[in-house]
Structure formats: structure tokens, C-alpha cells
Amino acid sequence: LFEGKIENASNKLVVGLVGLPARGKSFLARKLAYYLNWMEIQTTIFNHGEYRRCLLGSRQPASFYDPDNTDGVKTRLSVARLALKDLLKYLNDGGQVGIMDATNSSLRRRQMIEKECARHGVSVFWVESICDRESVIDDNIMKVKMKLPEYSHMTPEDILEDFKKRIEFYKKAYTSLDSTSTESNASFMKIYNLGNDFLIHKPQGTLVMRIVRFLMSVHNRPRSIYLSRHGESTYNKHGKIGGDAGLTESGYKYSVALKKYIEKQGLEDIKVWTSSLQRTIQTAALFDNARVRTFKVLDELNAGELDGCTYEEIKVNRPELYELRSKNKYYYRYPCGESYKDVVSRLEPLLLELEREGDLLVIAHQAVCRCLLAYFKCIPQDQLSKELPYLEVPLHTVLKVTPGIFGCKIEEIMLGPDAVNTHHGRPDSATPPK
């Protein structure tokens, strides 16, 4: 299949999805990939459907998936082997996690993958999605599968029928993961009806545990996350960074506007999160106390020794630091302070909580909002250091983030009043190496 040896294989992982069609496998694969990439764990999805369409064209009849159709079986095996080969190559070229997004529903297919991965010293973690609610499946088909290229020429009724036939064929050769069977040595998790039940078998290592914790937090109920910075602070006005200043007159007006805006959304159960700093707490002051929670991990990037300075002062008094940071803003850590990357890692545990929540208003700070926004925007791992520290998050503006099946919709709502601009664009000289 692939002959090279994989270096550092014990730090790499193959995540294999398992499940019948329309069980949210690709949805989970994408969520997981965005999450891992955000933490700079280089991750790529290998989707069998895409390989199949590329190789065979998009219009395969349902009978292609019949396990008794020997031609179909053979072809599908070669698709699987090709995708696996690419995945292993990717790990060999520096990737850390490869996600095999396919049904992987037969025991034999999984054994083939386990064997190939073992040969290269890489372990496999299986994630099976099980859904026994017929109406959810129908809904998935109508919402997602209708748009598949293979169905572009058909009526909704025919698509539903065809896709259900496909599922029936898959069921014939489907073996669910089972800790008491031949697969007792495999490491896996099973997700029943997204968020309801989880079975975790032999989870091994920190990376697998992080994946388990994350997937235990994911849901797909409709909701929005409203991301906002605090109202303008007196430090903002004077161009100073850090500190624990209160709001200006204009900042207070924003807190009023924000309250009104959220009220108009008519969300009864919305929760409000702030940092531990005065300016976010004051911005949330008009909300019902019982709905507000304060998190120190939402505090602004710590500028360490330079806390309380202006950009101008830093430029004049500490030109070497100014230079260093301009060149590599994402990784640059202030003396006795933090880098953007540090902020991302401290936000990770909170992100799991955020995934579990329903409607949520998060009132935080420029750097913290940038870090969260990079997650919602699904910025690819190799762009993070270049893009994240320059994302625009203006004062007195709400970013309404609505998670969907293929990523988040992000709307920008300027509430005003006018406030100073605290954005510093990317200098031309910035060439962020790792």
C-alpha cells in the first residue's frame, strides 16, 4: 500500500469514522478537524465519497453499494485503499491526525485499515455514530443528501428512495463496534443519538482523550453564539494595552445597545459569559445577574511587563520587542506575559463548555475574540499564525455566529456608538515562521 516508514508514528493518529450513511459522520469529522487544527494539531479529512466521485464519476446507482455486487465491492475496496494510502502519506509528510471519513461499516474493512496502520506504527481510534431515530435520518437526507452531485438530476422523492436503498445495502454488511468481539483490542467510541449515550472502549493517550472529551460536547441543536468585546474603556481611549480600566461614557452606551439588541433576539435561555475584568463585567451589568458567569480564562492576552503601555511607547522604548512581535505576532510572548498561542491553549477547556451550551453571549477582549473567531471561521492550521492576530473585531460590534452543518455563519452587527479603532493591521514585514 505504502512502503515508507512513518517517523514519529507514536505521536500520530488515524481517526476512523464508522456508521451507516446519513449518521452525521462527515459532520463530526469536520467539527473534529476544525477543533484540532485550531489547537495546531495538523489534521486532514480523507472522504471516501469524494475519492469515489473523482475516480468513478458521481452517478453510481444504489446497487453499487450492494455487498453482493462483487464489482462494486472490489471498486469500493480500491477507493478505500487509495484514500488510506494518501492518509498515510499525509502523516508521513508531517500531518498529525488523519480522519478517514467513510462508513467503515464492515469488520473486514476495519481490519484492513487496522492492519495497514499497525504496519506503519500508527494507532487507530474509531468513532461510530449510531442513530435509531428514523425521522432524524429522513431529515438528514432531505437537508444534506439532496445536494450531493449524484442527485442533481433527480426529484426529492426519488432521492429519498434511492438513498434509503443505499442505506439498506450498507446494513447488510454492517457490524457495529463491539468490545466483546474480535475487535476487543480496538480503541473506539460510540456515539448514540448525538449527545445522548457514549460508549468508550480502551481510550489511550492524551490525544485520544482530548478527542473523546470534544466529541462528548458536540451537539447540533440550533443556536447562536454572540461574540462581543467590552464597551470602549478609558484605556482604549488612551491607546493603552492591558490594565483593568472601566468603561467610557460611550462604552456605557454600548452596554445599553447590546442589552437591547439581545432582548430583540427573543432568546429566553441565553447565557452571558464575561471575563474577570471590569470592562466586560460593566458591559454585562444590565443583564440579569443569574444569567451571567465570569471566567478568568476569558481575560485579555496578558502583556506582562508591557501592561499599561501604548503601542507608541513600546515602539519608542522597547523597539526590539516591537519588532519581534510585529514579525511573529501569533507566537510572540510578552516578557512575563502571553502569546496568542498561549491564549488559544488556555481557552481550550472553555471551548468544550461553549460547544455544549445553547444560545450564548460571550463578552471578552480583542485578542480573546480573535482566538474564538478563528475557531468559528475554521481557519486552516497553516494559516492560523498569519490570520488570527489580524482578524478584525471592532469595538461596539456583535459577531453573531450560527453553527451549521458545514461551518458557521458569521454576521457582523455594528451597534455603535462610535468608538476608537484598536485594530493594528499586519505589517508587510510579517512573515510568521513557526
Ligand X SMILES: Nc1ncnc2c1ncn2[C@@H]1O[C@H](COP(=O)(O)OP(=O)(O)OP(=O)(O)O)[C@@H](O)[C@H]1O
Residues labelled as active-site residues = 101, 131, 230, 300
Indicate which of a second copy, Mg ion, ligand X, none lies near residue 129 (CB less than 5 to 8 Å, by partner kind).
ligand X
Please identify, among the stretches 114-122, 151-159, 197-205, 378-386, the one whose residues bind a second copy according to the rule CB under 8 A.
197-205
Closest contact distance (angstroms) between CB of 131 and ligand X is 4
* Residue 280 found at the interface with ligand X (CB under 6 A): no
Q: Which is nearer to a second copy, 281 or 297 (CB)?
A: 297
Number of shown-chain residues binding ligand X (CB under 6 A): 21
Count other C-beta atoms under 10 Å from residue 392's C-beta. Answer: 14
Number of Cα atoms under 13 Å in the Cβ half of residue 338: 16
Q: Which is nearer to ligand X, 165 or 318 (CB)?
A: 165
* Residue 250 found at the interface with Mg ion (CB under 5 A): no
* Residue 103 found at the interface with ligand X (CB under 6 A): yes
* Residue 49 found at the interface with a second copy (CB under 8 A): no
Closest CA to 59 of 158, 186, 182, 204: 158
* Residue 259 found at the interface with a second copy (CB under 8 A): no
Closest CA to 214 of 375, 44, 385, 19: 375
* Residue 336 found at the interface with a second copy (CB under 8 A): yes
Beta-bridge partners for 100: 16, 46
Considering only 206, 289, 429, 431, the residue that binds a second copy (CB under 8 A) is 206
Report H helices in 202-288: 205-215, 234-237, 249-265, 278-283
Closest contact distance (angstroms) between CB of 170 and ligand X is 8
Closest contact distance (angstroms) between CB of 166 and ligand X is 8
- Whether residue 417 is preceded by a cis peptide bond, meaning omega within 30 degrees of 0, is yes
According to CB under 8 A, which residues from 84 to 123 bind a second copy?
Answer: none
Considering only 122, 194, 343, 361, the residue that binds ligand X (CB under 6 A) is 194
Q: Which is nearer to ligand X, 194 or 372 (CB)?
A: 194
Closest CA to 22 of 52, 55, 45, 49: 49
Alpha-carbon dihedral sign for residues 260, 408, 190, 210: negative
Closest contact distance (angstroms) between CB of 207 and a second copy is 11
* Residue 136 found at the interface with ligand X (CB under 6 A): yes
Q: Which three cell numbers stand for residue 5?
A: 516508514
**C-alpha span between 243 and 309 (Å, rounded):** 9
Distance of CA 349 to the CA centre of its chain: 13
Plot region of 57 (φ>0 → left; ψ -120 to 50 → alpha; else → beta): left
CA dist 322 to 143, 306, 312, Å?
Answer: 50, 11, 10
Fill in the per-residue mask, 6 to 45: x = in contact with Mg ion (CB under 5 A), - = not in contact.
-------------------xx-------------------
DSSP-derived secondary structure for 402-420 = EE-SSSEEEEEEE------
* Residue 103 found at the interface with Mg ion (CB under 5 A): no
Q: What is the distance in angstroms between the CA of the first residue and the CA of the last residue of the chain? A: 32
Q: Which three cell numbers stand for residue 359?
A: 444560545
Instruction: Report the interface residues with a second copy, using CB under 8 A.
Output: 179, 196-203, 206, 209, 212-213, 216-217, 242-244, 296-297, 302, 304-305, 307, 335-336, 342, 345-346, 348-349, 352-353, 356
Instruction: Report the interface residues with ligand X, using CB under 6 A.
Output: 19, 21-28, 49, 103, 129, 131, 136, 140, 143-144, 191, 194, 220, 405
